[in-house]
Amino acid sequence: MRRGLLAALMAITVGCSAGTPAAPPVTTSTTAPPPPAVTLAASSISWQTHAYELTRFNTILSHEPTTVVDVTFDTWVLENEHLRVELLPEFGGRIISLIDKDTGREQLYRTPVGVPYQIGTGVFYFDWLMVYGGIFPTFPAPEHGKTWFSPWTFEVVEESPHSITVAMSFTDSDDYPLSPRQYDGNASGLTVTWLLTLESGRSALDTEVVIANPGPDDVRFEYWTNATLAPGADPAAPVAVAETEIIAPIDFVKIPGYWTAIAASEIRTGIPEVHGFDRLRTFGGWDDLGIAYAWPDVRDGDAWGAINQVNGDGIIRVGDSSVTPGLKLWTWGYERSLQAEPPEAGPYVEMWAGLTREFFQPTTIGPGEEIRVPETWVVTRGMQGVTDGTPELLFDAALYELELSLTLFTPGGHDEVTVTASDPLGTLGTAVARTDRSAVSVVLELDRIPEGPIRLTFGQRHGTSSFELHS
């Protein structure tokens, strides 16, 4: 920039020979500077719940299902040109709303009335649970952990006109002597810090979970990110439609034996509890409530999420499957979720990212160690599926004889993407696509039949990424 300015000044000097009138004086503009592209503002959100009271151990002391009370939480709103992200630190440290400003539609589920359930059954850490929704970290135990309703601290880490990073954090320092026997009632001493960054021009929220063990001993624990999804929904009443498709790089799921209804809807493989993954890819295909785990895991891809196949809106998580190989799916069943009973049921698709493959399979963090979980939440438009991707590019690929059909989405907006397909013998074809904030299709005409797996290489202004496709 300095060289360009110097050249301009030299041009003015050379052009002003003796007797030539001097250039007019430079005037200072009084125009106000443009507003920040990214903002952070304090706000609030209202909710309703059944009336309930807790003991000092956070178990249910009383529950009045016929009485509904109003609750108001303080929130923080991160906003850029394309996304409105509402953060709720004081109830579980969660993203409670993620709205695509270009369409006005919500991507996350929120239950209209909170209902305490499974009280005293021994299923959850505090012997009860209440769904609110959104995206939130769960630790140090499985099954929603022990911080889902606790206040997390909030702080601004870094702020500029074009990028804001905030953090929500929680330290597990309280013992719970009354936990059900499958849980460890001792405090883990772990601190989880959730960093969230919104940059200008992006239809994506970049996050990183930092799990730290400041103590002198190994700690066994579980960590899962819980995402309660309803892509392309009405912000006033966000629910998932029957045509919501679960996007995941898996062909098989493990369904625990007690979820017989959903297991019956999929083809058995001959491996105990392992089934094909077909009917359950669509929310409307869930005939009942249940759990399905990716089998054996999700190491074949880093991108998963859900797409509303009615309006084309989607929310895709891009992580690192070598860090979080676990993927757990849960719904209440489509038809069941629309009924009034049970009152805790809701129409949403729950997708969990775990450090381990299933609940009750803990991992270990050593003294003084940190585990980092990168996750980018991309809000898409026009994608019918996602094969894989990075925080800067999502793609869907399909091979038809010598035509490789690709659909691309770049959350950073305008970009020129060079796509090269190759196999072990060399290049198969190249194409260039100009992308925006909606899905863009491109077809590569391959020069020959591929010999072995196809490698796709994408060159864009953010760098180069490569992926291997298998038939």
Helix (H, G, I), strand (E, B) or coil at 7: helix
For residue 335, give the amino acid letter. Answer: E
Rounded Cα–Cα distance for residues 362 and 183 (Å): 11
pTM of the model: 0.92
Rounded Cα–Cα distance for residues 290 and 221 (Å): 24
Mean pLDDT of the 315-340 span:
96
DSSP state of 20: S
Look at residue 73 in the predicted model and tell me its pLDDT: 98
Q: Residue with structure tokens 């909170």?
A: 114
Evaluate whether 136 touches 196 at the Cβ level (below 8 Å): no
Look at residue 20 in the predicted model and tell me its pLDDT: 37
Look at residue 451 in the predicted model and tell me its pLDDT: 93
For residue 270, list its beta bridge partners. none
Rounded Cα–Cα distance for residues 177 and 185 (Å): 5
For residue 440, give the amino acid letter. Answer: V
Mean pLDDT of the 238-257 span:
98
Evaluate whether 471 touches 399 at the Cβ level (below 8 Å): yes
Torsion, Cα 318 213 55 70, to 10 degrees, reads -30
Look at residue 437 in the predicted model and tell me its pLDDT: 82
Mean pLDDT of the 275-282 span:
98
Task: Let me know if 164 is exposed, middle or buried by CB neighbors in 10 A (0-12, 13-18, 19+).
Answer: buried
Separation in Å, CA 43 to CA 75, 87, 131, 236, 296: 5, 9, 22, 17, 42
Rounded Cα–Cα distance for residues 460 and 234 (Å): 34
Rounded Cα–Cα distance for residues 149 and 166 (Å): 20
Rounded Cα–Cα distance for residues 223 and 91 (Å): 18
The residue among 425, 389, 413 whose CA lies nearest residue 461 is 413
Look at residue 470 in the predicted model and tell me its pLDDT: 73
Look at residue 341 in the predicted model and tell me its pLDDT: 82
The residue among 239, 197, 228, 236 whose CA lies nearest residue 134 is 228
Task: Let me know if 422 is exposed, middle or buried by CB neighbors in 10 A (0-12, 13-18, 19+).
Answer: middle
Mean pLDDT of the chain: 92
Look at residue 471 in the predicted model and tell me its pLDDT: 61
Look at residue 118 in the predicted model and tell me its pLDDT: 97
Look at residue 195 in the predicted model and tell me its pLDDT: 99
Q: pLDDT (tens digit, 9 = 90+) per residue, 397-432? A: 999 999 999 999 999 999 999 999 999 999 999 999
Q: pLDDT (tens digit, 9 = 90+) per residue, 97-126? A: 999 999 999 999 999 999 999 999 999 999
Bridge-based pairing state of the strands 39-54 and 113-114: parallel
Rounded Cα–Cα distance for residues 253 and 327 (Å): 10
For residue 283, give the amino acid letter. Answer: F
Rounded Cα–Cα distance for residues 217 and 73 (Å): 37
Measured CA angle at 121 (ends 115, 126), to 5 deg:
70
Q: What is the largest CA-CA distance in the chain?
A: 96
The residue among 222, 210, 164, 212 whose CA lies nearest residue 190 is 212
Look at residue 332 in the predicted model and tell me its pLDDT: 97
Mean pLDDT of the 341-367 span:
96
Would the pLDDT of 12 be above 50? no
Q: pLDDT band for position 5 (50/70/90)? A: very low
Which structural domains are found in the chain, ordered by start?
39-380 (2.70.98.10), 391-469 (2.60.40.150)
Would the pLDDT of 10 be above 60? no
Rounded Cα–Cα distance for residues 13 and 303 (Å): 56
Q: pLDDT (tens digit, 9 = 90+) per residue, 47-83? A: 999 999 999 999 999 999 999 999 999 999 999 999 9
Q: pLDDT band for position 3 (50/70/90)? A: very low
Look at residue 32 in the predicted model and tell me its pLDDT: 65
Look at residue 25 in the predicted model and tell me its pLDDT: 47
Look at residue 340 in the predicted model and tell me its pLDDT: 76
State how far Cα 283 lies from the chain centre.
Answer: 18
Q: pLDDT (tens digit, 9 = 90+) per residue, 25-37? A: 444 445 666 767 9
Percent of the chain with pLDDT over 70: 93
Bridge-based pairing state of the strands 134-138 and 224-233: antiparallel
Q: pLDDT band for position 292 (50/70/90)? A: very high
Look at residue 30 in the predicted model and tell me its pLDDT: 55
The token pair that represents 268 in the structure block: 């058995």
DSSP state of 343: T
What is 90-102 written as a DSSP string? TTTSEEEEEEETT
Would the pLDDT of 7 be above 50? no
Helix (H, G, I), strand (E, B) or coil at 262: helix
Q: pLDDT (tens digit, 9 = 90+) per residue, 176-210? A: 988 999 999 999 999 999 999 999 999 999 999 99
Would the pLDDT of 443 be above 70? yes
Percent of the chain with pLDDT over 90: 89
